[in-house]
Amino acid sequence: MLYDVIIIGAGPGGLACACITAAHGLKTLVLERKDTLGKKVCAGGITWNGLLKKVPVDISERHFCKQHIFTRFQTTCVDSPTPIIATVNREKLGREMAEKALQAGAEIRLGCQVTAIDQNRIECINKKSGSHDQYSCTSLVGADGSSSLVRRSLGLPVAATGIGITYQIPGDYPEMEWHFNSSLFGSGYAWVFPHRDSASIGAYVDARTMKASKLKANLLHWGKKQGYPLEQHKASAEFINFDFRGWRFANTFLVGDAAGLASGLTGEGIYPAIISGETIGQFIANPGSSTAALLNLIKNHKMHANMVSLAGKNTILATLIAEITVFGLKKKLLDFSAVEMAR
Ligand SMILES: Cc1cc2nc3c(=O)[nH]c(=O)nc-3n(C[C@H](O)[C@H](O)[C@H](O)COP(=O)(O)OP(=O)(O)OC[C@H]3O[C@@H](n4cnc5c(N)ncnc54)[C@H](O)[C@@H]3O)c2cc1C
């Protein structure tokens, strides 16, 4: 079957792209290997700026005007009259974004794993029926996350990834917290992101500097000291690709984590996925359209990648960068938005 646009992956990047291409009248198909929408290992944090720009506010579960930040030598609370970060339920976000894409006229096929790509011909297996289906398209969009098959089919390596581990702990957690401790988390950090009746408690690190097993051991050690019952729950972990090498390769496009557009510094990837998905959707529909939002994102991404490479050189540098940044936040020399991808 021939489509104008085939998008592989129904994460926020793929669905944002589908919504735009379908709204422009392009025959659009989204292929998603999972049976349900939105399921993803994620802390569900989204900056208020990003949320206001791109996500319906009623999707947020909780929002926080205060950010509690801890380093080895300081503690501070950044307080703002407006929320700084909100948490969203990824499944709800997925369902809402899919609804919009369907209303715009896109087709979404769940349970369809793409197994082979030959130029713009795609083979997939329908996991329910076991059938092998073939499709072809004019434009192919890889929105298939950090281990993207589309990216591999282009021969692009992934040399820079972060690793995120999260535990979803039931209970009422009142505050949003960030913990920088370079001996445990290198240039990364541990977080407490409260949701409606649970919290994501986890850690992120540049995978070039620490193995997942070591990060997990350090997170459990830290959690025990903080009094969080992490060991009683199941950990979920995934890599986060931040090795950006371009978004357009002839008629094949890469979006979100597949493009390596998540932040290497913080692991923030929902907003970059939506922005890149939308911009690329616009570009496919109208190659003369502005790509300014994507170019701005790429600029912020580069700054984050440089900072994480610098901080990853050694523990002393990572400590110094964290302490200076938090001191700047404490003295209001820096604004929290300085480290947001949505700025
Ligand atoms: C522990 C952890 C915590 C995180 N916390 C945050 C956070 O608080 N805030 C934030 O902004 N970001 C966070 N992120 C990052 C964020 O989850 C991702 O950057 C974001 O989901 C990227 O969106 P995407 O659409 O590019 O890819 P994804 O959301 O990964 O979607 C890709 C989709 O493609 C599908 N797919 C893959 N291969 C195939 C195939 N062969 N055939 C068909 N379908 C396929 C997958 O099933 C998936 O649904 C976190 C990540 C981790 C690991």
Q: Region 119-137: what's the mean pLDDT?
A: 94
Residue 133: per-residue pLDDT: 95
Q: Which residues pair with 205 in a beta bridge?
A: 163
Residue 334: per-residue pLDDT: 87
Q: How far is CA 48 from CA 81, 241, 308, 337, in A?
A: 12, 23, 23, 10
Looking only at the bridges linking them, the beta strands covering 252-254 and 132-142 are parallel
- CA–CA gap between residue 187 and residue 34 (Å, rounded): 33
Nearest CA to ligand 1 atom 18: 269
Burial of 12 (0-12, 13-18, 19+ CB in 10 A): buried
In tens, the pLDDT along 190-223 reads 999 999 999 999 999 999 999 999 999 999 999 9
Residue 106: per-residue pLDDT: 98
**pLDDT higher than 90, residue 273:** yes
Q: Which atom of ligand 1 is nearest to the CA of 13?
A: 25
Percentage of the chain modeled with pLDDT above 90: 85
Nearest CA to ligand 1 atom 1: 164
- CA–CA gap between residue 103 and residue 153 (Å, rounded): 31
Q: Which atom of ligand 1 is nearest to the CA of 163?
A: 53
- CA–CA gap between residue 64 and residue 317 (Å, rounded): 30
Q: Region 7-19: what's the mean pLDDT?
A: 98
Tokens representing residue 156 in the block: 């692009």
State the fold for domain 2-339.
Answer: FAD/NAD(P)-binding domain (3.50.50)
Q: Which residues line ligand 1 (CB under 6 A)?
A: 8-14, 31-34, 40-46, 113-114, 143-145, 149, 164-166, 202, 238, 240, 256-258, 262, 267-271, 273
Domain boundaries, the chain: 2-339
Q: Which atom of ligand 1 is nearest to the CA of 269?
A: 19
- Measured in Å, residue 55 CA sits from the centre of ligand 1 at 16
Percentage of the chain modeled with pLDDT above 70: 99
Instruction: Give the global pTM.
Output: 0.96
Q: Which atom of ligand 1 is nearest to the CA of 166?
A: 1
**pLDDT higher than 80, residue 51:** no
- CA–CA gap between residue 306 and residue 33 (Å, rounded): 34
Pocket test for ligand 1, best of 42, 150, 189 (most atoms within 8 A of CB): 42
Confidence of residue 41 (pLDDT cuts 50, 70, 90): very high
Residue 54: per-residue pLDDT: 73
Closest by alpha carbon to 89, among 176, 168, 173, 188? Answer: 168
